[in-house]
Amino acid sequence: MLSSVLRTEQAVQMSILVVEAFVQLREMLSTHKGLAHKLEELERTVGVHDQTIVQLIEAIRQLMEPPSKKRKQIGFTTEKKG
């Protein structure tokens, strides 16, 4: 609008710069929207993986614990005479 009112070369250049600024602003907003979507996706994925990792650690800890009581031996026993 400035270039149509003032009708100078400088006004035309300023008008072009204003339009370019709005185009860049629109591109940045769309980029950030995509970035925000990717972050949400990553949070969901990491959240699922975190739960899985915690479960794996708990299972490993349970496997590392010694048995609570001695079990009865399974099978036949023989007495050696000798």
pLDDT tens track for 22-73: 888 788 777 777 777 877 787 787 777 778 878 887 888 887 777 677 777 7
Instruction: Give residue 82's pLDDT.
Output: 60
Residue 69 lies in a domain: no
Confirm whether 82 is domain-assigned.
no
Residue 12 lies in a domain: yes
Phi and psi of 33, rounded to 5°? -65, -40
- Token pair, residue 29, equals 């907003």
Tell me if 3 sits within 8 A of 11, measured CB to CB. yes
For 70-81, what is the mean pLDDT?
75
Number of domains, the chain? 1
Q: For the whole model, what pTM was predicted? A: 0.38
- The domain containing residue 10 runs over which residues? 2-63
For position 2, what pLDDT does the model report? 55
Does residue 77 lie in a domain region?
no
Average confidence (pLDDT) over 13-27:
84
Mean pLDDT of 4-9: 74
Distance CA 21, CA 15 (A): 10
